[in-house]
Amino acid sequence: VIRSGRSVPRLLRTMASPSTGGASRTAIAWSCVSRDGTILAEAGEDDGKGKVIRTARRISMMAPTCGWEKCWTLKDAPFRGLKLHQVEIDEDSEKTVVWSFSCVYNKKSIGEDCAKAFLSKLLAITEPLRLCPWWLEGGTLAAQPSFAPTLKQQLETWDEYDAKLFAMNQQVEETKQIMADNIESMFKRGERLEDLKDEAQELSQMSRVFKKNARKVKRVKAWANAKYGVMIGTAVTGAAAVVIVPPLIALL
């Protein structure tokens, strides 16, 4: 069923109540993966009162924004809807694809951060799958046979411990990436440092040549000053002889 360009969850519509006959047993009651509003795979069960189904339909129909989409009503409490988007651009066709990862979680069982961690993990584990033709071009529930069992297993076992473990793994991966970037930058700076080292050596050599030439010029200038002083002294002596000697001769 397609409405307003987005597929409405179909699997939950056929599952009016959980197998236990009571409330949904899992903290994540329902989840799905969509491409451009078309649900490719989903898994979950209702609480027996239609709360999960209504919340799932509501969150799946919300248009994508630059942040997280959220929805909840007092009528369907304690269930809340959450959605994460990933925008990708095909380099060949330059086509933009919007991937959506949605879930309905029980607020009494887990917090919003735990639900966000669940969707972030879905984003990570589906990264290689999103290159498959039936993911890129398939219609409603095209990936249901292949991915729904994995999705069902994830939502049935997800809890606060898994969320913390995933967050820790994410931090480790981010730290590893930062370290790799730092090492690459160090190598780049190393090449630049080698260039600077060569330039510094050239400047040092030029400085030595300049000092050597400066000392040479200084010696030449000193020698010229010495010769000039001798010439001045000779001239003064000669002049004094011209002035003083004749009277002395006259006196004699």
Q: In whole angstroms, what is the distance from residue 216 CA to residue 222 CA?
A: 10
Q: How far is CA 162 from the centre of its chain?
A: 24
Residue 206 has what pLDDT?
Answer: 73
Q: In whole angstroms, what is the distance from residue 123 CA to residue 107 CA?
A: 22
Helix (H, G, I), strand (E, B) or coil at 91: coil
For residue 1, what are the CA distances in angstroms to 8, 67, 141, 191?
6, 27, 11, 60
Sequence-ordered list of residues with C-beta below 8 angstroms from that of 223, at least 6 positions apart, any chain: none
Q: What are phi and psi of 6, to 5 degrees?
A: -130, 140
Q: Dig out the tokens for 56 from the structure.
A: 């799932």
Residue 143 has what pLDDT?
Answer: 95
pTM metric for this prediction: 0.62
Q: Which secondary-structure segment (H or E) carries 207?
A: helix 160-251
pLDDT in tens, the chain (252 residues): 333 345 555 555 444 455 444 455 679 999 999 999 999 999 999 999 999 999 999 999 998 888 899 999 999 999 999 999 999 887 777 889 999 999 999 999 888 988 999 999 999 999 999 999 999 999 999 999 999 999 998 888 886 655 555 555 555 555 656 666 666 666 666 656 666 677 777 777 776 766 666 666 566 555 655 555 555 555 545 554 544 445 444 444
Identify whether 145 is preceded by a cis peptide bond (ω within 30 of 0). no
Residue 161 has what pLDDT?
Answer: 56
Residue 252 has what pLDDT?
Answer: 46
